Structure 1
């Protein structure tokens, strides 16, 4: 565990919404919207998926792919889901946290992001080393920061029951294989749930 103590300034009644395709298996939208804090990642949309993922967003966690408009896997199919290229510029009303060990995107774009978004830049290296997992997903990294801040989050859409090292987005109809260690992250999340450090829905 790191000596770094993040101060996220979040309500402890928090739902963290992953982007996994299994979100479409349950109509949990109303349950999600009942949380005081609802955290989403990168470009994850709500419009058209409200009954599954809710409509409320109080904090969005982004990586440099989003800040610099770099399409994931050189695939711009996310645009079909209503995600414009200037996505960040259209989110002025949301709190947005950049969580990445490379901060170039933040420095280049912060003139476009409201000052209230610049509350905390996570110690990404702490999250990266916690659990011995290489190149964590931004979702896993943020969960670690919550645990370091003694927050017990409730997780939706993290694909806990999936066995493979792949993941899919609920707004796409295809699977993705990436450099992330999804299998290792899922096992660690299960362990933390067993230890009552977080809740998995």
Structure 2
């Protein structure tokens, strides 16, 4: 699979997610556990593809990839810490309530879309960079200078930070929200039994 196809698939998934997210921000939505679990699996697959692609590009484009990957790892760890903190905060701001026997969710309006928008802008910049450098399909056929530029881009600290911020946010937000909803669902029969 070529690099541009991988990133096109990522942009399509993120675009679709932004569209769905913007729809779900308009008022309360029914809480659907299966949908959140499915999103977690899709995000895990996308992250695996991105990391595999970036590792290949770094191995092809850099003479000393270990040093560059170490710097990217530090930025990635900062992104993970920031993403988890934002995920916890976002779960605290989300509203879950019972409405006629249906658990409803009102997510925070700004946190998730703002994080995704930052990442989408980064991916758009990557496509601009690829076009500017003349890379159209396969990185292996690109000139060494182009390979080097793309490899440096894929592991730059800001890019690594944003990538891990996005994924850590959703990998913390969804499981914590599922846990909170499970606690509310298990407490619901007790609350209904206490009513006169």
The question of a shared fold, defined as TM-score above 0.5 by the shorter chain, is answered with no
TM class, shorter-chain normalised?
A: under 0.3
**Which structure's relative contact order is higher, taking Cα pairs within 8 Å and 6+ residues apart?**
2
More strand by share: 1
Flag the structure with larger Rg: 2
More helix by share: 2
User: Normalising to structure 2: TM-score of the pair?
Assistant: 0.21
